[in-house]
Structure 1
């Protein structure tokens, strides 16, 4: 199960890298909009998958402020 999820994460990461590389090239405005939309979809899918795999959120402890 975990191997499947990690494989899905790698797939999303690869797609994100590919779309970012494409955005550095010369594209028509229509193509650029499409790639931006796909990039956003991949980032959302990766974040959703990440949250389902690692649901716990750890926050950094806040520094104590002395009352002097």
Structure 2
């Protein structure tokens, strides 16, 4: 794994932790919805970094 990919994974992991922590606080419905969306996006980013799609080159 490259240093850049590892750094990106760490950044996403920190964001995921922060969003999970914030979701445990008292939030408005709009704030909660925003954080849940961001959490989903961060998880997707981690998934794409850890399991990149294979694209054959011709």
- 2:48 corresponds in structure 1 to 48
**Using the alignment, how far apart are the partners of 1:46 and 1:12 within structure 2?**
7
Q: CA deviation at 1:47?
A: 0.5
Which has the larger helix fraction?
2
**Using the alignment, how far apart are the partners of 1:50 and 1:16 within structure 2?**
15
Normalised to the residue count of structure 1, the TM-score between the two structures is: 0.74
Any gaps of 5 or more consecutive residues in structure 2? none
Aligned ranges 1:1-68 → 2 under 5 Å: 2-52=2-52
Any gaps of 5 or more consecutive residues in structure 1? 56-68
State the Cα deviation string for residues 43-68 of structure 1 (Å, max 9, x = none). Answer: 0000101112xx8xxxxxxxxxxxxx
Count of aligned positions? 53
4+ long deviations beyond 4 Å: none
**Using the alignment, how far apart are the partners of 2:50 and 2:13 within structure 1?**
11
